[in-house]
Amino acid sequence: MDRRDFLKSGIVAGSALALGGVTGLWSAAASAAGPQRQWDLVAVRGGEPDEMFDSAIAAYGGMGTFVPKGARVVIKPNIGWDVSPERGGNTNPRLIGRIAEHCFDAGAREVVVFDHSCDNWRQCYLNSGIEAAVKGAGGKMVSADSKGYYREVEVPGGKRLNRALVHEALLDADVFLNVPVLKDHSSSVITASMKNLMGVVWDRWYFHRNDLHQCIADIASLRRPDLTVVDAYNVMMRNGPRGVSESDVVRMRALVASTDFVAADAAGARLYGVDPAEVRHIGLAADMGLGRMDLKDLSINRIKLG
């Protein structure tokens, strides 16, 4: 049994399983430095989703660092599945609600949230808890279930994906916040920030027919998020991307934020328990110059709560 299988094995108790990935990312001492925009990555552990984001965004000097007054902001979570938050199939609603609050506090004119769901979109939005959280913060949920919401654009840096129908909410936004959930995926090893971008396009099946990993890297090249926030509070360790039950999930109580989505995915891979090199689209994106995957060369602020 290799380390990845060990981490995913039901033989190990949940707390020990979670520590397998978490201790790797937090192996260095926690940082004590004050806020700075220059952090390559901020990693937080030990809190609730909303309070971990509070700490992460404070390390970057507040949401005003990314959201200018009057900006139209789009937040792209994973809302692909009609499951409850405890199942780990979607981004945690408390995290999305808090991010929307921070955006409005920074002076955002509008905050829009969407995903091209796999299950019925109305049920996904409702039962994930994300719709209630977004509306409670004053944000707006928009549908992605009709081709009419998408516009065809070129993907200039794409190698297999040269054109795509992309949701208008992303194309029209001033600020793009990518907020995936970290979880297992049967086809791509993990879902994190780059895989989450399949939810901004209309024809997801093109990816599966034309080198999934290269297409993921290609769509990631279209528009880099201003900030990526990886939700690793409830992490699905097997049977992804939908999962079967709560027994698939480990409560890691972690969060990663970065202006470099490749670094964010590399950190997510470490949390999940695999080398980033095992996730092919991470290496492809790094080779395309979209970001850095070698975490040892990054400036990382490690924060432990509780």
- Structural domain boundaries of the chain? 3-304
- For 13, 182, 250, 272, 291, the CA distances from 8, given in Å and listed in that order, are 10, 14, 9, 9, 28
- For the chain, helix (H) and strand (E) counts, in that order, are 12, 12
- Rg of the chain (C-alpha set): 18
Q: By C-alpha distance, which of 32, 115, 124 is closest to 85?
A: 124
For 3-304, which CATH class? alpha beta
- For 53, 258, 290, 293, the CA distances from 282, given in Å and listed in that order, are 24, 15, 10, 7
Q: What would the two tokens of residue 40 be?
A: 């390559």
What is the DSSP secondary structure assignment for residue 199, as one 8-state letter? G
- What's the confidence (pLDDT) of residue 167? 98
- Asked if 260 and 275 touch (Cβ cutoff 8 Å), the reply is no
- Asked if 175 and 75 touch (Cβ cutoff 8 Å), the reply is no
pLDDT beneath 50: ranges in the chain: 1-4, 6-20, 29-30, 32
Cis, peptide link before residue 180, omega less than 30° from 0: no
Q: By C-alpha distance, which of 279, 280, 249 is closest to 181?
A: 249
* Environment class of 1 (CB within 10 Å of its CB; exposed 0-12, middle 13-18, buried 19+): exposed
State if pTM tops 0.75.
yes
